Structure 1
Amino acid sequence: MSQQLSRRHFIKMSLATTGTIITENAFNNKAFGQAPGIVISSKRRPQIPYGVMSGDINNNNAVIWSKTNKPAQMIVEYSTNELFRNIRKIIGTIATDKTDFTARLNLLNLPKGQQIFYRVLFQDVTDKNIFSKPEIGTFRTAADNKTNKDILFAWSGDTAGQGWGINPDFGGMKIYEAIRKLKPDFFIHSGDTIYADVPIEAEVKLDNGKVWKNITTPEKSKVAETLKEFRGNYIYNLLDENVCRFNAEVPQLIQWDDHEVRNNWYPGQIFDDKRYQVKDMSLLTKRAKQAFLEYTPIRFDANDPERIYRAFNYGSLLDILMLDERSYRGANSENRQPIASKDTAFLATPQLQWLKQKLLNSKATWKVIASDMPIGLIVPDGKVNFENFANGDGAALGRELEVADLLRFIKQRNIKNVVWLTADVHYAAAHYYDPNKAQFQNFKPFWEFVAGPLNSGTFGPNKLDNTFGPEVKYQSVSAGIKQNQAPSEGLQFFGTVKIGADSKVMTVELYNLDGKKLYSTDLQPEV
């Protein structure tokens, strides 16, 4: 049996019920596409215009996402067989206009170490005999301790930024296809999933005289301010065939950064931007977060449905800790405060305590911290302020105090095999943090790997901050390159992580737009 959903079978299943209404009895007892039906106009049927997604895989659970066009009830059938024998059917929620007709369903207690094939349908709420055509997806659950299975996953960030949108002449957002072909178990999107503050124009003139031609929509033709416009930014990415094919076959763990709302935003920010009629950052953030939660396959926390930082276990080899470095930060500043306070908050105390506890309790060999911003690269915000932890060479100050506190804790508790993955800076790099070369030295050495962008302008390289002793082992761009290069220049990047089931060695590799390997390193686990 194929370990990935075959294109042949995908097409077969997608076409199986075209133009038919399946009765409830037939739906329960017949294989879809084989039940007798009545041919009617497709206008009466719920539609699934943007495919399906899976995400937030956690041990043996997963979230299934989709969107329809009218009030309809989500139904998910799944099986370990790609022909959908021995199926299980789960009835989900009713998609309404309150969520822009998006819906999600949690699949629980799935068999471990198995390829799961699923199909999503929507049942009309006014005529229970009318169903949408099925949309097919697949994912693999984490292996148990008895299953000898390597782990392979990918990560990157930054989609549709700097005005570089979907260009059909270029092949669309084709880096997603390069990642899909590697068949990763899952993908971490490290933030900037959209660029709500960057409109997409129909044409962009390139330095070589050619023209980059974008697909455009009304919602992507201006900065996002209304809920509809924020939703439209997510819909825009789903217009790309590469993205939809990727979504159907690669489950995702998604975090956000700044461009989901506005460049370099922080809570309570006061800004002056003539492009915006809405000047209330709290209102913009509320609308942006609602759209983010509607259009990503995130599992909602029962106690705090809007919390984005969360943890995932992928068997005995891997725990993933996904941070939210945007929602709880203090204002961007010169970032040189000598004492920790609400002004130096980045993760903030509750999230930092959560992270420490998760690291301390982890029984997995490797602990991956998914950070939407790098630690030791300087990211300025204007002439004097800073966007991330780093604030320039020297002792730990400002937001760096949180990093120092965390790194000290990891050393004191002898927590082993912690690796950081990030994006944000629009190039790829490998950094080794060495306490012997640092200004703050009370920590265990560790690695940080950077990837991106997925379909945005290329920038970099950023300056290093020596506070925690980072050393560049690899970077994909050189000093002095032209900034904001188009995706057509090929400088788009993603990374993969492979963990050997037997050796437990972590192999990290960085790739370019075409799936060409640029860098590789093996990390031996500390025992």
Structure 2
Amino acid sequence: MSIPLDRRTLLRATGLAVGAAGLTALPATATSGEVFQHGVASGDPLPTTVLLWTRVTPTPESLPGSGAGPDVDVRWQVSADPAFTQVITEGTVTTGPGRDHTVKVDATGLSPATTYYYRFRLNEAVSDTGTTRTAPAADAAVQHLRFGVVSCSNWQAGHFAAYRVLAERGDLDLVVHLGDYLYEHGPGEFPVGYAVRPHSPAREVLTLSDYRKRHAQYKTDPHLKRLHAAVPWTITWDDHEVANNAWSGGAGNHDPATEGDWAARRAAARRAYFEWMPVRNTGDRLYRKLRFGTLAELSMLDLRSYRSKQVKILSGEVDDPKRSLAGGEQLTWLVDGLVSSTARWKLVGNPVMISPTLIPPLPSNILGPLLSLLGLPAEGGVVFTDQWDGYTADRRTLLDALGRNKVTNTVFLTGDVHSSWACDVPADAGLYPLSPSLATELVCPSVTSDNIDDILHVPPRTAAVIAEKALRGLNRHVKWVEYDSHGAAVLDVTPSSLRMDWYFLADRTKPDSSARLAKSFRVRNGTQRVEEVDPS
């Protein structure tokens, strides 16, 4: 909700109401760096509104997750210029230990497709200046969009150089984060067995205080802070924001006997998430839609909150129509939105893979790590049971609707699997290429989370090459898969085509790692097929 510019708000914004009744002022000796330790961020831009975020540390005891410290008034400003000589809107918001001293405000009254600058102030302490951009008007004839696409950023598996690579570009309209923004495990767990930099707190997170502290740790990473300050984000969660292989009633990484009530743990994780992330607080619902003129519409999915428990393929339950990945309400929302959309490109922020994928026979030393990476049971199986493959009724409902209504240009942007893919999504994978492709899927690499070469402790482009070749041979709609590299992707959207460029890091363990443009795939308007293009 935006803060109305009444007389009291304007007085506060000019510093005349600091020390209002019931509020504690920051000591004059505190520096801006001490007060605004966790940076600034913006998110979910609309044509006239964008959400702004920060976190303040008003006193030494007001540490994340502590539940300590005073309530304070934090002032915010949005300007048309970085010097703040043309302030467009401003106001004051109160925060305190009840929300872990995080600050969120919807800045309204803005102009579409416009770059703005924002900052926060607590007494004399001033935050870094953030840059954000509103979405185009819904009917604007937009000719180009450029998004960064990322997922799976495990603090202890490396440094977030992939975020730095995106921040250095200076040409992104939006960053799309597809889940696993953070990880719940203790130091050295899942599945690294070591820590480039250990998690804090030094245990698996279970409580509200724990999750708040883990969010705080991630937001001290300089590359993450830089990218948040440089461009608006839209994000969704996958499983690790709560616990590995989560479903509506539990998780693979949650033992009620030793870790308590699942509902309480999930509620704590979600409360911390909505406090610490630049998303609007809309109850417990995270799935939502962003429109970018007539060029693109982006539907961000939540595929953990409503799903049925994962099953093993050999049980045959993956085809049970009573089981759901998205939940009935969200699936209807998605189908209706795609069918009725008037945008040229229908983008879907998809936390887990939708392309049907059979696992080929492989040597056990390769198959074991591959199954671990994909969340499959150790004894094997022929589908990704934690993905849409494990919930075929939902996928069939969605694909049938796309085919029946002749919906074109649906592109699933996917994370989760710590690898890079470019796929057609056919009506019937067994008959492809005779069966038509109804959509396409582009999967970004992990920022840091372990890939096959990391799990096996072998050089890149050795063991994984065997798995990639076998998988493509068995799945003809998979045009490319790369299991070894970390990094980020950049999506360019125009009326005539959509293109994804994959950037791979030289070394995820180095904060200054270089990156190279490794692969590019294009989807031409109306084709529903991916094709490789020159990555130069």
Name the TM-score, length of structure 2 as normaliser. Answer: 0.76
Given candidates 439, 445, 470, the residue that maps to 1:446 is 439
User: 1:415-437: CA deviations, max 9, x gaps?
Assistant: 22100011111111111223464
Q: Distance in 2 between matches of 1:381 and 1:243?
A: 31
3-state SS of paired residue (2:491): strand
Q: Distance in 1 between matches of 2:429 and 2:396?
A: 15
Compute the displacement of 1:200 (Å): 5.1
Letter aligned with residue 81 of structure 1? D
Q: Is the Cα–Cα contact under 8 Å of residues 256 and 262 in structure 2 kept in the other structure? A: no
Q: Distance in 2 between matches of 1:365 and 1:272?
A: 40
Q: Is the Cα–Cα contact under 8 Å of residues 32 and 125 in structure 2 kept in the other structure? A: no
* 1:139 is aligned to 2:132: yes
Compute the displacement of 1:216 (Å): 5.1
* 1:382 is aligned to 2:377: yes
Given candidates 478, 483, 493, the residue that maps to 2:487 is 493
3-state SS of paired residue (1:223): coil
Superposition RMSD on alpha carbons, in Å? 3.3
User: 1:103-156: CA deviations, max 9, x gaps?
Assistant: 10012242112111111223xxxxxxx343233100122234557652100111
Cα distance, 1:59–1:511 mapped onto 2, change above 3 Å: same
Give the structure 1 partner of residue 144 of structure 2: 150
* 1:326-475 → structure 2 map (5 Å cutoff): 326-335=304-313, 336-337=316-317, 340-342=320-322, 344-375=323-354, 376-377=356-357, 379-383=374-378, 387-389=385-387, 391=389, 399-435=391-427, 437-438=429-430, 444-459=437-452, 471-475=477-481
**Which stretch shifts more, 54-63 or 138-147?**
138-147
Q: Distance in 1 between matches of 2:502 and 2:91?
A: 40
Compute the displacement of 1:523 (Å): 1.9
* 1:318 is aligned to 2:269: no
User: 1:151-181: CA deviations, max 9, x gaps?
Assistant: 10011111116x415xxxxxx4211110112
3-state SS of paired residue (1:410): helix
Cα distance, 1:205–1:409 mapped onto 2, change above 3 Å: closer
Compute the displacement of 1:215 (Å): 5.5
Q: Distance in 2 between matches of 1:181 and 1:270?
A: 37
User: 1:58-94: CA deviations, max 9, x gaps?
Assistant: 3332110111124222322112222222212332431
Q: Is the Cα–Cα contact under 8 Å of residues 89 and 109 in structure 2 kept in the other structure? A: no
3-state SS of paired residue (1:120): strand
Q: Is the Cα–Cα contact under 8 Å of residues 312 and 319 in structure 1 kept in the other structure? A: yes
Q: Distance in 1 between matches of 2:318 and 2:486?
A: 38
3-state SS of paired residue (1:116): strand
Compute the displacement of 1:521 (Å): 2.3
Given candidates 484, 497, 510, the residue that maps to 1:505 is 497
Compute the displacement of 1:364 (Å): 1.1
Aligned length: 449
Q: Is the Cα–Cα contact under 8 Å of residues 497 and 508 in structure 1 kept in the other structure? A: yes
Give the structure 2 partner of residue 263 of structure 1: 244
3-state SS of paired residue (1:135): coil
* 1:194 is aligned to 2:182: yes
Letter aligned with residue 67 of structure 1? R
Q: Is the Cα–Cα contact under 8 Å of residues 407 and 443 in structure 1 kept in the other structure? A: no
3-state SS of paired residue (2:395): helix
Give the structure 2 partner of residue 282 of structure 1: 263
3-state SS of paired residue (1:142): coil
User: 1:251-288: CA deviations, max 9, x gaps?
Assistant: 11111111111111222237686898423222211111
User: 1:18-73: CA deviations, max 9, x gaps?
Assistant: xxxx9958559xxxxxxxxxx94227998111110001113332110111124222
Cα distance, 1:381–1:289 mapped onto 2, change above 3 Å: farther
Compute the displacement of 1:96 (Å): 1.4
Compute the displacement of 1:390 (Å): 5.1
Q: Distance in 2 between matches of 1:104 and 1:350?
A: 28
Q: Is the Cα–Cα contact under 8 Å of residues 472 and 479 in structure 2 kept in the other structure? A: no
Q: Is the Cα–Cα contact under 8 Å of residues 504 and 518 in structure 2 kept in the other structure? A: yes
Q: Is the Cα–Cα contact under 8 Å of residues 270 and 279 in structure 1 kept in the other structure? A: no
Cα distance, 1:472–1:271 mapped onto 2, change above 3 Å: closer
Q: Which runs of 5+ in 1 are unaligned?
A: 1-21, 29-38, 123-129, 166-171, 207-211, 392-397, 482-490
Compute the displacement of 1:443 (Å): 6.3
* 1:177 is aligned to 2:138: no
Give the structure 1 partner of residue 533 of structure 2: none
3-state SS of paired residue (1:328): coil
Letter aligned with residue 197 of structure 2? N
3-state SS of paired residue (1:425): coil
* 1:13-162 → structure 2 map (5 Å cutoff): 26-27=14-15, 40-42=28-30, 47-70=35-58, 71-122=71-122, 130-144=123-137, 149-160=143-154
Letter aligned with residue 176 of structure 2? I
Letter aligned with residue 100 of structure 2? D
Q: Distance in 2 between matches of 1:150 and 1:325?
A: 29
User: 1:288-325: CA deviations, max 9, x gaps?
Assistant: 11111111111122xxx110111111221110001111
3-state SS of paired residue (1:363): coil
3-state SS of paired residue (1:235): helix
Cα distance, 1:133–1:310 mapped onto 2, change above 3 Å: same
Compute the displacement of 1:361 (Å): 2.7
* 1:306 is aligned to 2:300: no
**Which stretch shifts more, 435-444 or 358-367?**
435-444
Q: Which runs of 5+ in 2 are unaligned?
A: 1-9, 17-26, 59-70, 360-373, 453-463, 506-513, 528-536
Letter aligned with residue 139 of structure 1? T
**Which stretch shifts more, 509-518 or 432-441?**
432-441
Q: Distance in 2 between matches of 1:72 and 1:425?
A: 42
Give the structure 1 partner of residue 525 of structure 2: 525
Q: Distance in 2 between matches of 1:272 and 1:78?
A: 42
Compute the displacement of 1:408 (Å): 0.5
Q: Is the Cα–Cα contact under 8 Å of residues 79 and 89 in structure 2 kept in the other structure? A: no
Q: Is the Cα–Cα contact under 8 Å of residues 319 and 391 in structure 2 kept in the other structure? A: no
Q: Is the Cα–Cα contact under 8 Å of residues 302 and 351 in structure 2 kept in the other structure? A: yes
Cα distance, 1:408–1:273 mapped onto 2, change above 3 Å: closer
Q: Distance in 1 between matches of 2:13 and 2:413?
A: 49
Name the TM-score, length of structure 1 as normaliser. Answer: 0.77
